Structure formats: C-alpha cells, structure tokens
Amino acid sequence: MPDHLPPKPDHSLHQLRIRLSSADALPQLTAIGMLIGLLAGGLLILFREIVTGSTSFWQSGGDEHFETLSDLLRLIIPIMGSLIILCLFTCTPIKRRTVGILHVVECLQFHKGKMSFTGMLLQFFGAAIALVSGFSVGREGPAVHVGAATGSLLGQKLRLPQNTLNILAACGASAAISASFNTPMAGVIFAMEVVVRQYTLNSFIPVIAAAVMAAVLSQIMYGPDPAFMVPVIPMASLTELGIAAASACLIGLLAAGFIRLQLWTASKRQQLFINPLLLAGLCMGAAGYFLPAVMGIGYETVDLILNGELMDISFLLTLLTAKLVITALVTGLGIPGGIIGPSLMMGALAAAAFGHLGDLALNLPDISTAFHALLGMVAMMAAVLQAPMAALVTVLELTRNPHIIMPAMFVIVIACLISGRLTARGGLIEMQLNAKGYNHQHSLLNRLLSQKGVATLMSRNFDLLNDSDIVQVQVHASLQDALEIMETHSVEVLGVYTSGKHQQVLCGVITRKAIDSFYR
C-alpha cells in the first residue's frame, strides 16, 4: 500500500477539542465556563423553587417554619420522606448511588472528572425530598453535586478533552455556591480549595466566569442580598476577642466530634437490622417531634441569632446538641443532603451561647451577638471541611465588612488546628475518602499528565501502512489515559482518532517517547 496521509476529520468540534487539549486554551474554557454558570445557576434556582413550592403545601410560613406543624406531622413527614428516598435509591443502579461533595471530589480525583446523569438526578430529587421532609441537611452539598455534574456532563456530551472535565466540573461547583449564598468569590475559592484542591490560572479564570454568571441569575431571581441578613457589626474589643478565641476552641472540639460521629454512623450502616434510610427518617421524626427547631437547614434560627432575637442559653445549648447529633446521624445513614448549612447553624449556636456566658461572667456591656455568631459560623465551616480560605471569603461576602477579616482569621486558625489535631488533620471529605480506601495524595506526575491532552503532543506527520493493527486512543483523552493504554497493550505508539461524519478518523499518532520527553 502506498504511503499516504489519512483524510482530515470533518467535524465542527474537532479544532475546539485540539485547542482545549493544551494548557493555554483560556478564552475557550472561559466561554464554556460562562455557559456552565448559566446552566448550573438555572438548575439550582429550579431546585430551590421546587423545595419552596413543595413545602408550601403544608407550611404557610415558608420552608423553615416546621414549628407551625402539629407534633404528629413533624413525626410522620420525615418518615414518609425517607420511604420516598428509599424508593429512589432502589430504582438507581448501585454504582450511581453516591452523592454529595464527596462524590464530586471522588470523581474529579480518581475517575477523571466523569460524572453520571443518573447520579445527578438522584441527588437533585433525593435532596429536594429530604429538605421538604424536614431533614437536618443543607442544600449546598447537593447543589455542588448538581453544578459539578452539569459541567462534567456538558464536557462529555461535546466529547471535549478529558483534561478539561475537572475544570468544567469546578465551574459548576463554583456556580453552585455562588448561587446558593449569592457569594461569587466564595464559590470560586470553595471550588478551588475543597473540590479541585489546587490553584492554577488555567482553572481560575473559567471558574470565576461561571461563578459570576450564576450570581447574576441568582440576583435577577432573588435580589442582591446574601443568604443572611447581617446587621452592622461594631469593632470588637480585646475582651470580646478573648471570648471568641475560647469559643473557637469549643467549636474545634465540636467539629471533630461531628466528623467522628458522622463517620462512625456511616461505618455501621451495613450492620443495621433496619434499612438505614428508614432509620434516618425515624430518628429525624423523633427529634422533630420534641424539638421543632432542629428540623430543616436552620437558616431561620441563624437569622434570629444574628439579629439578637434568640438569647436563651439553655435553649441554645440544647438545640446545638440536638442539631449536631441528628445531622451526623441522618447524613451518616445516607440521606442525600449536605452539611454546610447545618454546620453554619451549629457554629452560630455554639458561639452565641458562649458569648452570652462570657457576658454573664465578665459583665460586658453591649456585647455583639451577631459578631460572635458570625465568627462561630465560619469557624465551624472551616473546621468541618478544613477549608479556611473558603470560610474566610464567605464571611467577608456575607458581612461586606472588612473589619471582620482579622477576627475571622483568628478563630478559623484556632478551630482548624484543634479539629485537625483530633481528626488526623483531615476534614470530613478527606476522612470519608480515607474510609473508602482512597489514597488522596496523588503523585505530581499523574496530576501533570491528567492536565494535558494527547492532541498537544500528537504528531500529524506519519506514514500509514496498515491501520487495522493500530491501538487507538481518542483525541479527547489525556496523556495519563494514553500512558495507561500503552501499558495495557504493551505498545510504544498509539493512533489518535476523532469522530468523522460516518466513522472514526485517524488524525495523528502519539508515542511513549513524546510523553516521556514532556514530563522529563
């Protein structure tokens, strides 16, 4: 057969895929990030409206007023919700039943950023049912899953290079936090610190674009105000900083206890004589029967604390204990909800109670409940997730007050150090990954190879003798994928294929020597 070059692929996305395989495709990635921000933001607005609209069937006061229900309804509704969630899980393949931020991090770090549509649907509807049923879970974790899956699925649908899937999923995650709290900067930092776990210029710009687009949609729908109405906070005295430091020590202990209890509950899930989801419904119903304020995310309670309308120390401590225990139990038993919202409430309760105790002990005039509650919220969030920057930026955007930065940094450091000391320096996500047997410390080489596409190193100058014996790799694959295929088939050269109009078309070759030269 005479030497010849293969026909060029006739595909509108081919050049885009080639461009995105490199590490310098910022304009293209940014444009796609903006699209993901709009899609994810729209989905999360739909999610929020479904929850609010569904809850209004039995609550006249809104989606956080479970105390308006009768004792019997507060007992029954979580049990009914757990049964519906159980049906959803039963109808979902076992491999698609992992949800939440843990699932997002797992997919990005160990499964090349590939997320499933089935898992996203389970998270969307399962979390909606959990929130409508009054479970003590948050909507931010499910929102991160839905947002990240939106980015990943768009990339998979367009068959974009696999080295871009992590960035696209991070765009969706940042859009989720941005739309949930109306805090775009916190969304960006959260995606980088908690989800992607690295800071690179190539991912920062698209993630920022996605967060901005989601925030624009959220503000069009709900206005410019953040999730909480925070009053003006005066400058704190040195005595109040001392109380905040002591409160941060307590919050560090509480965060470690919450993580340990959640992990212990999850480890016992397979040993129970009753279905874990049904048991979660029974526990939630019993807790709601005796203490209505423990139901739901807890944002209404946080608003009351921030505005100085909840001052009873004994009630604060009772609610704190119940919220911590029931949230750890229901999430550990598998209810598809998040822990960020409840952790903010726990932090506010702990700090408010400790602030009042300090006021009683030291007889301080005009102590600021909002000041201590805000510091407690960010300290608890930072300690549970071991995400200090995300928590710091969150409080800055919530308060829009630069004077809060120094006290917030102070309590975050204390709470993270104490919690990390008691949990092997790992947050909840890290500990959950360890419990599943993952080694989260990826080598620098694997990370480097996963960020480059084969199209950047493939050669278009080659002689084709017989393409029937060529081991194939797709043009959207990463260098890590190519190296794994070479190891599996014991070859030194792969043919790089892309989709033509009617068949797969050879568009280049990549060699082991080229990959070796790249990383050396």
> Could you read off the pLDDT of 453-473 as tens digits, one per residue?
787 788 877 766 666 678 888
Q: Please check whether the two domains, 14-222 and 238-435, share a CATH topology.
A: yes
Read off the pLDDT of residues 66-124 as tens digits, 9 standing for 90 and up: 888 889 999 999 999 999 999 999 998 888 888 889 889 888 888 878 899 999 999 99
Task: Please name the residue that has the structure tokens 């930026």.
Answer: 393
Q: Decide if 299 contacts 345 (C-beta within 8 A).
A: yes
Has residue 5 got a pLDDT over 60? Answer: no
User: Is the pLDDT assigned to residue 443 strictly greater than 60?
Assistant: no
Instruction: Answer yes or no: CATH 1.10.3080.10 is held by domain 238-435.
Output: yes
Interacting residues of 283 by C-beta distance below 8 A, sequence separation 6+ = 326, 329, 330, 333
Instruction: Say how many CA atoms lie within 13 Å of 96 toward its Cβ.
Output: 18
Q: Would you list the domain boundaries of the chain?
A: 14-222, 238-435, 452-519
Q: Give residue 273's pLDDT band: very low, low, confident or very high (50, 70, 90).
A: confident
Is 8 a residue whose pLDDT tops 60?
no
pLDDT at residue 487 tops 80:
yes
The tens digit of pLDDT for each residue in 195-237 reads 887 777 777 899 999 999 999 999 999 888 776 667 666 666 7
Chain mean pLDDT for the chain: 84
Residue 54 in contact with residue 513, Cβ under 8 Å? no
pLDDT for 127: 94
Which residues fall within 8 angstroms of residue 200, CB to CB, at 6 or more apart?
none
What predicted TM-score, i.e. pTM, was given to this entire model? 0.84
CATH of domain 452-519: 3.10.580.10
Listed residue (473, 442, 451, 441) closest to 518, CA to CA = 451
In this prediction, residues 274-280 reach a mean pLDDT of 93
Q: Quickly state the pLDDT bin for 441 (edges 50, 70, 90).
A: low
Model confidence over 292-323: pLDDT tens digits?
999 989 888 888 888 878 778 899 999 999 99
Q: How far apart are CA 482 and CA 473, in angstroms?
A: 6
Distance CA 194, CA 339 (A): 14
Total residue count of the chain as it appears in this document: 520
pLDDT at 1: 37
Average pLDDT of the segment spanning 417-426: 85
| Higher-scoring residue by pLDDT: 229, 155 | 155
Count of Cβ atoms closer than 10 Å to residue 104 Cβ: 33
With beta carbons less than 8 A apart as the criterion, state whether 311 and 355 touch: no
**Spatial contact of 205 and 23, defined as CB atoms under 8 Å apart:** no
Choose the most confident range, by mean pLDDT, from 48-52, 225-229, 477-481: 48-52
Confidence of residue 425 (pLDDT cuts 50, 70, 90): low
**pLDDT tens track for 161-194:** 877 888 899 999 999 989 888 888 988 998 888 8
Pairwise CA distance, residues 248 & 411, whole Å = 5
Residue appearing with tokens 């979580």: 78
Q: What's the rounded mean pLDDT across residues 493-499?
A: 82
CB neighbour list of residue 287: distance below 8 Å, 6 or more residues apart: 136, 294, 295, 322, 326
pLDDT higher than 90, residue 355:
no
Q: Please state, in angstroms and rounded to a whole number, the distance separating the CA atoms of residues 86 and 258.
A: 25
Compute and round to an integer the Cα radius of gyration of the chain: 25
| Alpha-carbon distances, residue 279 vs 71, 77, 272, 290, 435 (angstroms) | 19, 13, 9, 17, 22
State how far the Cα of 469 lies from the Cα of 471, in Å rounded to an integer: 6
Encode 441-494 in three state secondary structure: CCCHHHHHHHCCEHHHCCECCCCCCCHHHCCEEECCCEHHHHHHHHHHHCCCEE
| Digit-coded pLDDT (tens) for 384-407 | 999 999 999 988 887 777 778 889
- CATH number of 14-222: 3.30.450.20, 1.10.10.2840, 1.10.3080.10, 1.10.1520.10? 1.10.3080.10
Note the pLDDT tens digit of each residue in 10-43: 455 666 666 666 556 788 889 999 999 999 999 9
Pair 255, 415: CB distance under 8 Å: yes
User: Binning pLDDT at 50, 70 and 90, where does residue 325 land?
Assistant: very high
